[in-house]
Amino acid sequence: MRVTVSVAIAGASGYAGGELARLALDHPGLTLGALTAHSNAGEPVAAQQPHLAAHPAIAGRVFAPTTPEALAGHDVVFLALPHGASGEVAAALQAVDPDVLVIDVGADHRLVDPDDWRHYYGSEHAGTWTYGMPELLHAGESSASAQRAALAATRRVAVPGCNVTAVTLALQPGVAAGLVDPGDVVAVLAVGYSGAGKTAKTHLLASEAAGAAVPYGVGGGHRHNPEIVQNLRVAGAGRDGLADVRLSFTPVLVPMSRGILATVTAPIRPGVTEADLRAAWGAAYDDEAFVHVLPAGAQPTSASTLGANTAIMAVEVDERAGRVVVTCAIDNLVKGTAGAAVQSLNLALGLPETAGLPVTGVAP
Amino acid sequence: MRVTVSVAIAGASGYAGGELARLALDHPGLTLGALTAHSNAGEPVAAQQPHLAAHPAIAGRVFAPTTPEALAGHDVVFLALPHGASGEVAAALQAVDPDVLVIDVGADHRLVDPDDWRHYYGSEHAGTWTYGMPELLHAGESSASAQRAALAATRRVAVPGCNVTAVTLALQPGVAAGLVDPGDVVAVLAVGYSGAGKTAKTHLLASEAAGAAVPYGVGGGHRHNPEIVQNLRVAGAGRDGLADVRLSFTPVLVPMSRGILATVTAPIRPGVTEADLRAAWGAAYDDEAFVHVLPAGAQPTSASTLGANTAIMAVEVDERAGRVVVTCAIDNLVKGTAGAAVQSLNLALGLPETAGLPVTGVAP
Amino acid sequence: MRVTVSVAIAGASGYAGGELARLALDHPGLTLGALTAHSNAGEPVAAQQPHLAAHPAIAGRVFAPTTPEALAGHDVVFLALPHGASGEVAAALQAVDPDVLVIDVGADHRLVDPDDWRHYYGSEHAGTWTYGMPELLHAGESSASAQRAALAATRRVAVPGCNVTAVTLALQPGVAAGLVDPGDVVAVLAVGYSGAGKTAKTHLLASEAAGAAVPYGVGGGHRHNPEIVQNLRVAGAGRDGLADVRLSFTPVLVPMSRGILATVTAPIRPGVTEADLRAAWGAAYDDEAFVHVLPAGAQPTSASTLGANTAIMAVEVDERAGRVVVTCAIDNLVKGTAGAAVQSLNLALGLPETAGLPVTGVAP
Amino acid sequence: MRVTVSVAIAGASGYAGGELARLALDHPGLTLGALTAHSNAGEPVAAQQPHLAAHPAIAGRVFAPTTPEALAGHDVVFLALPHGASGEVAAALQAVDPDVLVIDVGADHRLVDPDDWRHYYGSEHAGTWTYGMPELLHAGESSASAQRAALAATRRVAVPGCNVTAVTLALQPGVAAGLVDPGDVVAVLAVGYSGAGKTAKTHLLASEAAGAAVPYGVGGGHRHNPEIVQNLRVAGAGRDGLADVRLSFTPVLVPMSRGILATVTAPIRPGVTEADLRAAWGAAYDDEAFVHVLPAGAQPTSASTLGANTAIMAVEVDERAGRVVVTCAIDNLVKGTAGAAVQSLNLALGLPETAGLPVTGVAP
C-alpha cells in the first residue's frame, strides 16, 4: 500500500484516542498527524499513553490543544471526545475543510431520532452521520452490503457504541431473517472498565473493581438502548410481521480492563429450527473478516478478542425456554470503538477493508 | 452459647469443605472434629487449606480418609463430596448413627423429581432431603416460615446450589406474590471460579481467566435449571393462574475467585406497579437477617458479600421492556454453600439462626 | 465478655475507617458509636460502605461531620484521617476528654524523630505516640513483651503503616538475634490497591490496574522508609556490633484490592546457620496468635490472610547469595491497619489480646 | 518484503507455541507451515488457540503429531517443548535437514556450563546454541553488536527465559560499564501466570490466583539463576576488577496472565554518579528498537508491554541504600519468548530486525 493518509485525533489522551493512535501507528497506509487533548494539552504523549512511548513516531511529541487549527489540514480527523463536544468541533472543521473525512467515536451523531437524543442525553441533537458498522444488516439482506455502500460514499461517520456493537452483531441475523422475535430481547453484558473512560471516579477504582461484579444503568434508562433498537429496526424489526423491538439491557462491570461478553436471548418464532438459525448466522457472517461464528458446543471468551477487531460468537438454542441464546465477545476499544473507526475509514477511502486491523487476539 | 456441637467434614480438602471448616472454627457453638479427604488423606490440613493454618485448632492436623468410621460419633456431618458420592456415605452413616444430623452441600439430594436427576446427571437418584434454604417462600407465604419449620424437624439437609440460591432469592418474592410471570425468566450470572471447584482443569487456569469473561453450559442443559424450576414452583409457579416456569439460564465466568452477581428478569404481570413489586420484596425480606434489599437506585456489588452469609439485591422495573430486573449478589461459598449449611444446622439444632454467620462482607 | 466499650471512628467513609467499623461490629466487647466523615458527612453509611449495609447496627445511619463534639463521649476514638489531620483532632479530644483512648491509624504520630517527619512529609511533627505493634521486638528480646507493656499503659496509640508492618515482622527476629546484617536490606513488596486509599486518581483506576504490575516510590524517597529503619533499630540494629539499617524498599502495585506479599532479604552474618535462623524466627513467633511461620519449603500467599489479622511468613536461606529471604503476607487493611488498631485497643483496655480478631483468612 | 519463509512450530498447542503462531501470522515475510502437538495432535487448532480462530490461515487446521516428518521441509522450525524434549527433536531435524534454522524457546540449549544444567535440571545437557538475545552486551561493549553478529551467522538459536530476559536487560548496562557491583544483586519479579504454562495444576487455578500474590522457587534453587549469572558474566562480571555475580532471585506470581515487572537492585560502585548510570543505560539502549528507558521519575507498568516485543525500564538511584534500582517491564510471551524468537529469526535470515514485531502494547 503506497497511499499515505494523514490522520489527526481529537481527544488523544483518553482510552479511545489512545487506541485510535495505536491502530493508526500500525496501519500501513496511515500517517499520524496532530494528537490533541483538552486538560492534557502541552504534556508529552508518552506520559498519558505509555504503551505507545517506545514507538519512534511518538518520541518527543506533546498534545496540541483541541482546536480547529490543530485538526485542519489532515485527510482524516477522528473525534474521541466526551458526548456533546463533537458537534462544535465538527462544525468548525466543516467550515475550514468540508472534504475532510470526520469519524466520530463518540455518541453525538449515532441516533437517527432527535427525540431519542433529547430523552437520553438532555440536549439538542447534533445530527445523524453514516453509521460506522459495515456489517449492519438491512432488512432483506442475508449479508451486509448496503451499509458498506453508504460508508464508501460518506465523509461523516458515527462509530457505534461498544455495547451496542456486541448486541447488534449477536442478534441481527435472526431478526433480518425473520427467525427470532425482537419483541422480547434480553441482553446482559459482562464488560471491562475501559469502556467507562479514563476520568477518575471512585466506583471505577481498582480497589472497588477487584474481585467484584457490579451492574449499572439497570432498568431501561441506559443510553445504549435506543441505539440497539435503531439497529434492529434497520435489520427488519417492526415490519414484515416482526414485532417492534423490546429490549431489557443490563451491563455488569467485571474485573478486567478490556472486553465485552454479551449474552443475548430472544424468543424463537414458531416452526424455526436450530438449522434455520445456524444457516442465518452463517449467511450473515461466513464471509465477514471480522465476525467469527463458533461451531456448535464452543463458547467465546472475551480474551480471544483482546486487541483485535474481531467479534466471536456462539449461537445456541434453548428448546425448553423457546429462546436462542447468542454469546458474543469483542474488545470494546477495538471492534467496539477504534477498530470500527479504522474499518470505516478503510471503506470511506477505498482502502482494503481489513488494512491495518488485527484479526488475532492477544491471549492468553 | 454453651452448647458444644461436634462437626465432621467429609471432603474437607476442597473449597466447599474448607469454607465449612472456616465457618465452624468461628462458630461459638461448634467444635471441629474429623476432617476427611480422598486423595489428600494423610496430608497436613494446613497444606491444602493454608488460610486456616494459623488457627490453633488446625495445628498438626492431617486429613483422615473419608470413611464411615472417621465420620461416625459426631453430632453433625457435613458432606462436601463430588456429586454421586454422597449417597453411599449417607447410607453408611444412617446404619451406624441414624440420629446424626447430615448436611450435604453437594447436588445428590436436592432434586425432588428422580427423572430430573436422571436426565441431568445420568445416574440413579439418591433421594430427596430437606432443602437447606430457610428463606424459601412457599406458595401463599409473604415471608418464609414453612421451610424453617421443615428444617427444624429434619436430620437430613440438602444445601442448594450456589447459582440456584442467587436466582431463587432474586425472583421468588414476585412469583409468590403473583406479580411476575415465571413463564419467561431470563437469568445471566457473572460467577467466580471457586464455584467450579479445586480440580485442576486447563480452562480454569489463571492464565485463561485473567482478563476474560467466558460463558459455559449455554442453551438449557445446565444442571442448575431443574433446581431453580423446582424452587419457583414451591413459590407458586404453575398454579393460581401463574404460568409454569420457563427459564433461560446462562452463567458467565469472570476473573474473580468468589462471588455471584445474578441478573434475573421476568415479565411483569398486567396492572402490577413498581410499588407492588417493592412491597412484595420488602415483605419477603425485611425481617431476614441474611437478605438485604437495596433502596431504589442502588445496585449491589458481589464484593460486598465476600465472606458473608448475605444476599444483597436490587429490584428495578424496566417499563419499556415490561420486565422486572433483579440483580442479586452472594458469595457462592458462603450463602451459596457453607453459610447456608451452617444456617440450616442452626435451625435443625435449635441454635439461634444467625449463630456464627458473618453479615458484613470483607470489602473493598 | 460483658464489657461494653463504645468506639467512634473519625474518617469512617474511607477504606481504613470501613475496616475499623467491620471489625468493631464483629467484636464482642465493642459498641459502635459515632461514624464521622468529611465530604461524605450527612450521607448514609450504607452508601459508602455497602459491605456493612446488611448489619442491623448500620441501618439508617448517616455520617456525622468530623468534629470534636461528634467524637467526644466515647471510650475509644479511632482516627482514620489523611496525614496531617490527626494532630488537630487529637488536641481537641485531649482538651475535652483527656482519658479517652485515641488510636491513630494514620501516619502523624508514628515517627520518633521530628527531622524524619519534616524530611518526608514537609510539615511540623505532631508528636510520637505508643507504637501499635504488639509483636515489635526490642533489643535483647527473643519474643515481644516490652511493646505489649507499653501498649497496656497508654492512652495514645500510633498504628504502623501496612508496608512497614510486613517488612518489620519479616526481618526483626534476625536483627534482634544478631543473625542478619541490617546494613543491606532489600525489600520488594507486591501490594494491592486499597492501601492507596479511596480518593479517585487516574493511576488507581481498574482499567490501569487490570493485568498490570506497577512500581511506585522507587529510589529511596518512600515515606515508609524511616519507619522501617526506626523499627529495626528498636530490634537492635546499630548497636551490639550490628550495622545500622540501610534499606532499599520498592512497592509494586499488583491487580488485587487487599494484600501485601513482602519479599525481604538481608545478608546472613558469618557462621550463622539455617537452623540458627529458624530458631530465632520460631522463638519470636511460635507463641504469637497472629504471626505464623510456615515449615521449610512452603510459601505464603496473600490470599490466606484476607480479612484476617494474621501475618504468614516463610524463611529461606540462599547460600550462594549469602542472604536470608523472608516472604511475608498480610492483609494491609487488617494486620496492616485496622486489626493492629483493635489488637492495640485490646491491650490498652485489658481485654484479651485476640478478642474480635479473625485468625483465618477468607480464601480462596 | 517479498521474502516468503515457511515456519513450523513444534508444541503449537501451548502458550509459547500459540504466541509464535500469532506473531508468525502477522509477520509480512513468514508463512505458517506445520503446527504440531503431543496430546492435542489431531484436534482443531482453533479449539486450543481460540484467539487465532478467526484468522483465515487457521481455518480447518488440525495439529499434526510432533514428528521429524511433520517438521521437515520448512525454512524455520520453532521448538516450544517441555524442557528435555528439544534435544531429540533437534537431532532428528539435524539428520534430515541440517540447514534448517531451528529456534528453541525452551530451556535445553541456553546454558553454557553442562554442570549448571545437571545441577538444576538433573539430566544430561543437550548442548549450547547461540543465545537469542540480540541486545546482550558483551564485555567492553556500550551497545550490543557481538550477539547480533553471532545470531546472523547461526542456524541454532536458544531463546532466553522470560524472567532472565527482564533481569539481564535491566542490569547489564551497569555491569558492562563497570558501574555497579554484580556481587550482590537482588531481583524480585512480579510475574503473570502464563509463564507457568498451560498444564493444569491446582496452584495455577484462577481461584487460587485471584486476589493473591504468591512467591515460588524462593531461596536460590530457581532454574533461572545460572542463566542470569551467565549473561552478566558475558557483560563483564568477574573480570576487570568486577566481582563475580551473586544473585538473590525471587519471582512472585500476581493475578495477571501476561507480564513481568522486575525490580533489580545492585550496589553502586564508589564514585559513580546518577549521571554516569543514566549515560550507560542510554548508550546501551537509545538505539535499540525494543528497549525503552523512561525519563527520570517515570516508572514502567507491565501493561504497556502487552503483546509487544518491548522492554520498558526505569533507572533510579537510592543514595541512602547505595543501590541502583532498575524496574523493567516485559511481556513474558513476547520479548520474553516468542518475540525474541522472531527477532532472532529476522537476524539469522537477514530480514529487518524489527519485521513483524509490534512495538506498542495493547493498553489499557
Residues of A taking part in catalysis: 162
A232-259: pLDDT as tens digits: 999 999 988 899 999 999 999 999 999 9
Q: Is A149 in the same domain as A281? A: no
Identify the CATH number of the domain in which residue A205 sits. 3.30.360.10
Number of Cβ pairs < 8 A linking chain B and chain D: 74
CA gap C349, B313 in Å, rounded = 39
- The answer to whether position A189 is within a domain reads yes
CA distance A113 to chain B (A): 17
Report how far apart, in Å, the C-alpha atoms of B158 and of each of B19, B152, C101, C163, D219 are: 17, 14, 49, 44, 47
Chain B positions in Cβ-Cβ contact with residue D255 (cut-off 8 Å):
206, 210, 255
Question: Does A308 contact D53 at a Cβ distance shorter than 8 Å?
Answer: no
Choose among B29, B87, B88, B33: nearest CA to B63: B33
Q: Based on the number of CB atoms within 10 Å of its own CB, is A97 exposed (0-12), middle (13-18) or buried (19 or more)?
A: middle
Q: Nearest 5°: phi and psi at C264?
A: -125, 125
| Residue type at D76 in one-letter notation | V
**Inter-residue contact A256 to B213 (CB < 8 Å):** yes
Q: Is ipTM beyond 0.90?
A: yes
* Residues 6+ positions from B120 with CB-CB distance below 8 Å: B221, B223, B225, B226
C89-111: pLDDT as tens digits: 998 998 888 889 999 999 999 99
Q: What chain D residue is nearest to B196 in terms of C-alpha separation?
A: D207
Annotated catalytic residue B162: yes
Residue pLDDT tens, chain B, 364 long: 456 899 999 999 999 999 999 999 999 999 999 999 999 999 999 999 999 999 999 999 999 999 999 999 999 999 999 988 998 899 899 888 888 999 999 999 999 999 999 999 989 999 999 999 999 999 999 999 999 999 999 999 999 999 999 999 999 999 999 999 999 999 999 999 999 999 999 999 999 999 999 999 998 777 889 999 999 999 999 988 899 999 999 999 999 999 999 999 999 999 999 999 999 999 999 999 999 999 999 999 999 999 999 999 999 999 999 999 999 999 999 999 999 999 999 999 999 999 999 999 999 9
Question: Does A206 contact C15 at a Cβ distance shorter than 8 Å?
Answer: no
- Range of B261's domain? 163-333
Partner residue opposite C299 with nearest CB, options D218, D261, D363: D218
Q: What is the structure's pLDDT at C1?
A: 47
Q: What is the structure's pLDDT at D222?
A: 77
- The answer to whether position B47 is within a domain reads yes
The three-class DSSP label of residue A33 is strand
Locus of grid cell 500467599: C301
Interface test with A, best of C15, C203, C207, C302 (most A CBs within 10 A): C207
In this predicted structure, the answer to whether residue D221 has a pLDDT above a threshold of 80 is no
Cell (9 digits) for B239? 398454579
Query: Touching B: which chains, 3+ CB pairs < 8 A?
Result: A, C, D
Query: Residue A136: how many CB atoms within 10 A of its CB?
Result: 23
**Inter-residue contact B153 to B248 (CB < 8 Å):** no
CA distance C307 to chain A (A): 14
Q: Is A83 in the same domain as A196? A: no
Partner residue opposite A259 with nearest CB, options B212, B220, B301: B212
Q: What is the structure's pLDDT at D7?
A: 98
Angle at alpha carbon of residue C230, lines to C226 and C236, rounded to 5°: 145
Locus of grid cell 498504628: C159
Residues linked to residue B330 through DSSP beta bridges, in sequence order: B260
Cα end-to-end span (Å), chain B? 32
C105-160: pLDDT as tens digits: 999 999 999 999 999 998 999 999 999 999 999 999 999 999 999 999 999 999 99
- The answer to whether position D48 is within a domain reads yes
Question: Does B206 contact D208 at a Cβ distance shorter than 8 Å?
Answer: yes
Locus of grid cell 530457581: D222
Q: Is D265 in the same domain as D179? A: yes
Strand segments, DSSP code E, in chain A are: 5-10, 30-37, 64-65, 76-79, 101-104, 130-131, 156-158, 185-191, 214-215, 247-253, 260-267, 291-293, 311-318, 323-330
* Residues 6+ positions from B59 with CB-CB distance below 8 Å: B46, B53
Question: Does A215 contact B186 at a Cβ distance shorter than 8 Å?
Answer: no
Strand segments, DSSP code E, in A139-296 are: 156-158, 185-191, 214-215, 247-253, 260-267, 291-293
- Reduced to 3 DSSP states, what percent helix, strand and coil does chain C have, rounded to the nearest 5? 35, 20, 45
Interface test with C, best of D305, D320, D324, D334 (most C CBs within 10 A): D320
Q: What is the structure's pLDDT at C137?
A: 98
Q: Is A16 in the same domain as A62? A: yes
Indicate yes or no: pTM above 0.90: yes
Q: Is C141 in the same domain as C189? A: no
Q: What chain A residue is nearest to C205 in terms of C-alpha separation?
A: A205
Q: Is C178 in the same domain as C285? A: yes
Question: Does D307 contact A307 at a Cβ distance shorter than 8 Å?
Answer: yes
User: pLDDT band for position D2 (50/70/90)?
Assistant: low
Identify the CATH number of the domain in which residue B120 sits. 3.40.50.720
Q: Is D97 in the same domain as D119? A: yes
How confident is the prediction for chain D on average, in pLDDT? Answer: 96
Query: Touching D: which chains, 3+ CB pairs < 8 A?
Result: A, B, C
CA gap D188, A163 in Å, rounded = 40
Chain D positions in Cβ-Cβ contact with residue C208 (cut-off 8 Å):
301, 303, 364
Q: Which of B12, B30, B162, B348 is catalytic?
A: B162
* Residues 6+ positions from A7 with CB-CB distance below 8 Å: A20, A24, A30, A31, A32, A33, A74, A75, A76, A77, A78, A345
CA gap B29, D283 in Å, rounded = 69
- The answer to whether position C358 is within a domain reads no
Chain C positions in Cβ-Cβ contact with residue B358 (cut-off 8 Å):
26
Question: Does C292 contact B52 at a Cβ distance shorter than 8 Å?
Answer: no
Choose among D295, D296, D327: nearest CA to D311: D327
Q: Identify the DSSP state of B338.
A: I
Q: Is A209 in the same domain as A228? A: yes
Q: Is C182 in the same domain as C68? A: no
CA A281 to chain centre: 20
Chain A positions in Cβ-Cβ contact with residue C205 (cut-off 8 Å):
193, 198, 200, 204-206
- The answer to whether position B362 is within a domain reads no
**Taking the CA atoms of chain B, what radius of gyration do you get in angstroms?**
20
Question: Does C219 contact D256 at a Cβ distance shorter than 8 Å?
Answer: no
Chain B positions in Cβ-Cβ contact with residue D47 (cut-off 8 Å):
none
CA distance C210 to chain D (A): 7
Q: Is A193 in the same domain as A288? A: yes
The stretches of C187-273 forming alpha helices (DSSP H) are 206-209, 225-234
- The answer to whether position D358 is within a domain reads no
CA B237 to chain centre: 21
Cell (9 digits) for B90? 449417607
Q: What chain C residue is nearest to A191 in terms of C-alpha separation?
A: C207
CA gap C18, B363 in Å, rounded = 8
CA gap C214, C230 in Å, rounded = 27
CA gap B333, B310 in Å, rounded = 11
The three-class DSSP label of residue B166 is helix
Choose among A150, A324, A323, A165: nearest CA to A230: A165
Sheet of D185-191: strand order equals D214-215, D247-253, D185-191, D260-267, D323-330, D311-318, D291-293
CA gap B202, A189 in Å, rounded = 25
Cell (9 digits) for B295? 433502596
Q: Is D202 in the same domain as D94? A: no
- The answer to whether position B124 is within a domain reads yes
User: pLDDT band for position A1 (50/70/90)?
Assistant: very low
CA distance C220 to chain D (A): 5
Choose among C161, C163, C184, C160: nearest CA to C174: C184
Q: What is the structure's pLDDT at C221?
A: 73
Helix axes A114-121, A225-234, angle to 10 degrees: 160
Chain A positions in Cβ-Cβ contact with residue B314 (cut-off 8 Å):
215, 218
Cell (9 digits) for C34? 459515632
Number of Cβ pairs < 8 A linking chain B and chain C: 103
Question: Does A51 contact D359 at a Cβ distance shorter than 8 Å?
Answer: no
User: pLDDT band for position A3 (50/70/90)?
Assistant: low
Q: Is D87 in the same domain as D24? A: yes
Report how far apart, in Å, the C-alpha atoms of B251 and of each of B116, B172, D305 are: 20, 19, 32
Give every residue of chain C whose pLDDT is below 70, as ranges: 1-3
Report how far apart, in Å, the C-alpha atoms of C5 and of each of C28, C358, D290 are: 10, 19, 61
Question: Does A213 contact B329 at a Cβ distance shorter than 8 Å?
Answer: yes
Question: Does A213 contact B319 at a Cβ distance shorter than 8 Å?
Answer: no
Mean pLDDT of D92-118: 93
- The answer to whether position B359 is within a domain reads no
Chain D positions in Cβ-Cβ contact with residue B194 (cut-off 8 Å):
207
Establish how many alpha carbons lie within 13 A of residue A137's alpha carbon, considering only the half-sphere containing its beta carbon: 27
Residues of D taking part in catalysis: 162
Domain count of chain A?
A: 2
